Structures are given as C-alpha cells and as structure tokens.
C-alpha cells in the first residue's frame, strides 16, 4: 500500500468517525429533548402535588371545623376519615409514580453518561488519527523534498552529460583541425 493510499484510507476512516460523532451528537440532542420533556412533566406533577397539598390543607381545616361544629356527629367524622384515607392513598400513588419518574430520570442520566463517554472515546480516537495524519503529512513533505533533490540531481547530471558531449565534439573538431594543420605543414 502506497503512502497516498494509506493517507486516503486514514482520511476515509476520519470521515467515518466524524459521521459517527455527528450521529452521536444527534442522539445526544434527542436524549436532551427527552430529559427536557421529562422535566416539564415533573414540573407539572410537582404543581399537581402542590395543588393536592393545598387541597389537603383545606380538607384538614374542614375536618377541624366540622369537629368543632359537630362534635357529636361521629358518623360524619368517620366518613371524612374514610375520605381522608382515599386522599392519602392518592398521595401514596402519586409518590409511587414520582418514584418511577425519578427512576426514569436516573436511567436517562446513566444513558447520558454512557453517550458522553462514547463521544469522549470517539474524540480521543479522532485525535489519535489526526496525530497520525499529521505525522504522515510530515513524512510526505520529507519525501517530496527528497524527490525534488533527486530531480535536481538528475537535471544536473543531464547538464553535465550534455557539456561532456559538447566537449567531446569540440575535442573532435580540434583534433580534425590539428590533423589538417599537420598535413599542411608536412
């Protein structure tokens, strides 16, 4: 595998990781939206509980008032006590429901931590790949410099060869002249 192919494979891997990171970020958005929805639901439930608590206060005041006004009417008090039990059961039901909501939030928080860990791991992997890519770029730069040097040396060798050929031609011409001069002188 050539350096170029290796670099291309690394770049392709990085693009895949970036795509994975974008997918995880989208999942994270969904989780955050779910958490916001649950928080809004929780807020509504808290308001319902406050409302029920206010109602409960009112019921308690009514009971006190009825007890003061109707001491002798035990049947009415028993009826109110039964009603109070129902309200308490409703509150226990709401508390149990609230416990379930809290458990859901806890599970979502764990999921968010898992997603955060995955994002962190992917980021660390990306940093490693980026470091490798930078090292490969430095190696490519060095190879390009060596290639340029070799090209320059090749050009210099060609120039020296041409100069040698010219010198050879010049020497042959001078030999021819010398021989002609020697022939004339002889």
Structure tokens of 101? 């909501």
Which CATH code, of 1.10.10, 1.10.287, 1.10.357, 1.10.12, is assigned to 3-185?
A: 1.10.287
DSSP-assigned letter for residue 71: T
Check: CB of residue 33 under 8 Å from CB of residue 135.
no
Look at residues 150, 109, 129, 112 and name the one whose alpha carbon lies nearest to residue 7: 129
Range 63-88 average pLDDT: 74
63 has a pLDDT exceeding 80: no
Provide, for the chain, the percentages of residues in helix, strand and coil under a 3-state DSSP scheme, each rounded to the nearest 5: 95, 0, 5
Condensed to tens digits (0 to 9), the pLDDT of residues 89-143 reads 888 888 888 888 888 888 888 888 998 899 898 888 888 888 888 888 888 888 8
Q: What CA–CA distance (Å, rounded) separates 174 from 164? A: 15
pLDDT band at 23 (very low <50, low <70, confident <90, very high): confident
This prediction has a pTM of 0.32
Distance of CA 31 to the CA centre of its chain: 14
The alpha-carbon radius of gyration of the chain (Å, integer) is 46
Q: Is 9 helix (H, G, I), strand (E, B) or coil?
A: helix
Domain boundaries, the chain: 3-185
The crossing angle, in degrees rounded to 10, of helices 3-69 and 74-185 is 170
């Amino acid at each position: 595998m050539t350096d170029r192919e290796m670099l291309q494979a690394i770049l392709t891997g990085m693009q895949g990781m970036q795509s994975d990171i974008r997918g995880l970020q989208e999942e994270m958005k969904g989780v955050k939206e779910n958490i916001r929805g649950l928080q809004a639901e929780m807020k509504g439930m808290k308001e319902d509980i406050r409302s029920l608590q206010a109602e409960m206060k009112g019921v308690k005041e009514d009971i006190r008032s009825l007890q003061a006004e109707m001491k002798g009417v035990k049947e009415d008090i028993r009826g109110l006590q039964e009603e109070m039990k129902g309200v308490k059961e409703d509150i226990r039901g709401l508390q149990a429901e609230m416990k379930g909501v809290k458990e859901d939030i806890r599970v979502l928080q764990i999921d968010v931590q898992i997603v955060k860990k995955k994002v962190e791991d992917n980021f660390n992997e990306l940093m490693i790949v980026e470091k490798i890519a930078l090292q490969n770029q430095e190696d490519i730069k060095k190879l390009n410099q060596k290639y340029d040097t070799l090209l320059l040396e090749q050009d210099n060798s060609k120039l020296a060869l041409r100069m040698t050929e010219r010198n050879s031609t010049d020497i042959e011409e001078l030999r021819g002249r010398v021989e002609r001069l020697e022939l004339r002188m002889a």
